[in-house]
Chain A
């Protein structure tokens, strides 16, 4: 297996999405194309350039420390599995 394929397979595992073999092949081909397309960017000389860390001009966008309880009726309705006040998931062994 190539390095790219291996990292791709690992990425699929890390991001936890079931993807069938055929689509994995498509993704692999696309990824090869994409990385090829990115080559000029990788080659661009950026020595001494400071990376952007935030897109926006805002700084110190703060909220005052005031507590407010939320009406949870609608929020809880959105949950697929909610039981006696808890969100439930399949059993986990810690």
Chain B
């Protein structure tokens, strides 16, 4: 058995058939994390509790159970609560913080047999590592020196330091990182997967999502985590599950739309690749049409106004009174100022301050209220674009994986979200899947579906069936096995 392929489906099958043990998988994974520490993908790794979990899985299987994610090494975003390990929320002040509860999605994955191998090193207060430096430094891209990954979970996945990652997606970091690491990154329709336990910066846009290495793996993961959770009451829309994929549906019955405006926003190399991908879709038998998306630049601006405003409010709870670390202070004001300085890095400070600026008297109408109106127009824009198709095919980013080392201004980093943030704003499910390689770096496209079409979307991704390639590494704990 070649564990280097490492799909969830095959591995879980092997564990369920007792060909390998969950314990063995966790040992290999932890070793593989050690092999490539300079990737910096993990904020902390699991110890005894992971082996306990793995042994429990092995025990269950011996007593006749079969688990969909048996023994699968899982990495969990550090802005997602997991009570067995420190959950730092990407804050230096929370390095040793253990939350009193675990996120719903973590519980469900563990229930399905997955084993948490560590917490992923997220950016400042959980913001995309592309925009916000983590207190522990940037997460590197395993494909190329001096490149970073917007999604640390995808980096870990590509480096085979886990088989599945649970992360959040707001402006699109999960999809972007999956794309630049050659992996699958999925942002489900809001309400399909419980957000309980995710430290929300923007209630409007933050979602729980996954990085996996195949569409089939993603499907199993989604099945294991989606559905009604009473602790996130907005999942009540999941009481009626979305339409199930029709197994007999041929590509010819599915219409994919490409938007000319997306091509306009791309650099020439990426545009060329996207054209080739379009041709591939035709070859595969899909119906391909054109759909116009007129408001991407405006959507991006409105997105950031709202995201900043919400972040400034959501992170007000970090006051050093009920949880976390409190600064030494003789006066109440001091407690606030100093604790919040300890807690937030530069990006969280920026978002808090800009958000406050946007919401303050005089600015509220011209920025915030205007952004809410533009949001309505953005929804209409996407509704129109999707009226004559089943799925939109959009780029994820223009150009290659970003470099986190050189200084680039924050507006440039915001601009790189032009294809992903508007999709979040439109409340649509979106899957980034590997599409091409350029200069030794992979890139993906986004498959964007109608609301609640998640299952069908993942099914279509299987039909597209692009091959997942892993980067070469000097040393792999898996080859020894």
Contacts and interface: CB of A to CB of B under 8 A. Distances in A.
A and B touch in the complex (CB under 8 A): yes
Interface in A73-93: 74-75, 77-81, 87, 89-92
Interface in A35-94: 37-38, 40-42, 44, 46, 49-53, 55-58, 61-63, 74-75, 77-81, 87, 89-92
Interface string B388-429: 000000000000000000000111001000000000010100
Interface in A11-53: 11-12, 14-19, 23, 27, 30-31, 33-34, 37-38, 40-42, 44, 46, 49-53
Contacts of A46: 370, 373-374, 377
A89 B344 contact: no
Contacts of A44: 298, 370, 374, 377
Nearest to B316: A15
A42 B95 CA distance: 41
Contacts of B298: 40-41, 44
Interface stretch (B14-22, B64-72, B317-325, B464-472): B317-325
B372 A15 contact: no
B318 to A, nearest CB: 10
B355 to A, nearest CB: 8
Contact of B190 (A16, A18, A56): A56
A52 B375 contact: yes
A19 to B, nearest CB: 6
A58 B236 CA distance: 7
Interface in B302-361: 302, 305, 312, 316, 320-326, 329-338, 340-341, 344, 346, 349-350, 352-357, 360
Contacts of A11: 353-354, 356-357, 360
Contact of A37 (B329, B336, B346, B411): B411
B302 to A, nearest CB: 6
Q: How large is the interface on A (under 10, 10 to 19, 20 to 34, 35 or more residues)?
A: 35 or more
B145 to A, nearest CB: 28
Given A41-B302, A80-B320, A80-B326, A7 B360 contact: yes
Contacts of B337: 16-18
Nearest to B236: A61
A12 B332 CA distance: 16
B191 interface: yes
A30 B353 CA distance: 11
B366 A55 contact: no
Given A16-B337, A58-B236, A51 B324 contact: no
Given A15-B352, A56-B191, A51 B237 contact: no
Interface residues of B, number: 74
Is chain B's binding surface mostly helix, strand, loop or mixed? helix
B233 A34 contact: no
A19 B326 contact: no
Interface in B176-190: 190
Interface string B42-76: 00000000000000000000000000000000000
A57 B379 CA distance: 12
A64 to B, nearest CB: 10
Contacts of B297: 40
Contacts of B100: 74-75, 77-78
A57 B191 contact: yes
A6 to B, nearest CB: 11
A56 B353 CA distance: 26
Given A15-B352, A79-B323, A52 B376 contact: yes
B274 interface: no
B308 to A, nearest CB: 9
Interface string B248-267: 00000000000000000000
A74 B230 CA distance: 21
B204 interface: yes
26 contacts: A7-B360, A8-B353, A14-B360, A15-B353, A16-B333, A17-B353, A19-B341, A27-B353, A33-B410, A37-B301, A40-B298, A46-B374, A49-B377, A50-B376, A51-B376, A52-B372, A52-B373, A58-B191, A61-B234, A62-B233, A77-B98, A79-B322, A80-B320, A80-B321, A87-B321, A90-B332
Interface of A: 7-8, 10-12, 14-19, 23, 27, 30-31, 33-34, 37-38, 40-42, 44, 46, 49-53, 55-58, 61-63, 74-75, 77-81, 87, 89-92
Interface of B: 83, 97-101, 190-191, 203-205, 230, 233-234, 236-237, 297-298, 301-302, 305, 312, 316, 320-326, 329-338, 340-341, 344, 346, 349-350, 352-357, 360, 362-363, 366-367, 369-377, 379, 409-411, 414, 425, 427, 451
Given A52-B375, A78-B99, 17 more contacts: A11-B353, A14-B360, A15-B353, A19-B349, A27-B350, A30-B411, A41-B305, A41-B370, A49-B373, A50-B376, A51-B376, A58-B191, A74-B101, A78-B97, A78-B322, A89-B321, A91-B332
Give the 3 A-B residue pairs with the shortest CB-CB distance, closest first: A51-B372, A74-B100, A80-B326
